[in-house]
Amino acid sequence: MRRVQIFSGSSHPGLSDAICERLGTSTGKCGLKKFANGETSVEVGCSVRDQDVFIVQSGSQNVNDSVIELLILISACKGGSANKVTAVMPYFPYSKQSKKKSHRGAITARMVANLLHVAGVDHVITVDLHASQMQGFFTKPVDNLYAEPLIARWIRHNISNWRECVVVSKNPGGTKRVTQLADALKLNFALITTDRRRNLNEGWMSSRFQSHRHSPAESDDGRTDTDSGRDGHLDGAAPTSNGVNGHSGVNGIVNGVNGLGIHSDHMASPPFRPTNGGSMTNSMILPPHPQDDFDDEYTDDQAQSVTYGRLVQGHIVDDDYPSPAMSQAAHADDPMMSSIHSLASLHADNALGGTIDAHNTDDEDEADIVQGAERMITLVGEVKGKTVLILDDMIDRSSSWIAAAEHCKKRGGAKEVVCLATHGVFGGDCLKEMVACECIDQVVVTNSFPIDASKMPGGRTDGFGPSGAGTRGKLTVIDLSIILSEAIRRNHNGESVSALFQHFQD
CA distance 69 to 40: 7
pTM of the model: 0.73
- Are 332 and 338 in contact by the 8 Å Cβ rule? The answer is yes
Identify the CA nearest to 26 among candidates 34, 12, 16, 35.
Answer: 16
CA dihedral for 300, 305, 306, 312, sign (positive or negative): positive
Half-sphere CA count of 211, side-chain side, radius 13 A: 9
pLDDT in tens, 313-341: 778 888 777 776 554 444 445 554 444 44
CA 180 to chain centre: 16
Looking at residues 440-467, what average pLDDT do you find? Answer: 88
Asked whether residue 374 carries a pLDDT value surpassing 70, the answer given is: yes
CA distance 166 to 164: 7
- The pLDDT assigned to 313 comes to 75
Model confidence band, residue 457 (pLDDT cutoffs 50, 70, 90):
confident
Phi, psi (5° rounding) for residue 87?
Answer: -95, 115
Output the CA angle 338-344-348, nearest 5 degrees. 110
Angstrom CA distances, 257 to 166, 205, 273, 451, stand at 51, 20, 15, 65
Q: Which residues pair with 142 in a beta bridge?
A: 124
Dihedral of the CA atoms 273, 279, 285, 287 (nearest 10)?
-50
pLDDT in tens, 67-114: 999 999 999 999 999 999 999 999 999 999 998 888 889 999 999 999
**SS3 for 155-215, per residue?**
HHHHCCCHHHCEEEECCHHHHHHHHHHHHHHCCEEEEEEECCCCCCCCCHHHHHHHHCCCC
Model confidence band, residue 293 (pLDDT cutoffs 50, 70, 90):
low
- The pLDDT assigned to 264 comes to 43
DSSP state letters, 74-118 = HHHHHHTT-SEEEEEESS-TTTT-SS-SSTT---HHHHHHHHHHH
- Are 16 and 73 in contact by the 8 Å Cβ rule? The answer is no
DSSP letter assigned to residue 478: E
- The pLDDT assigned to 74 comes to 96
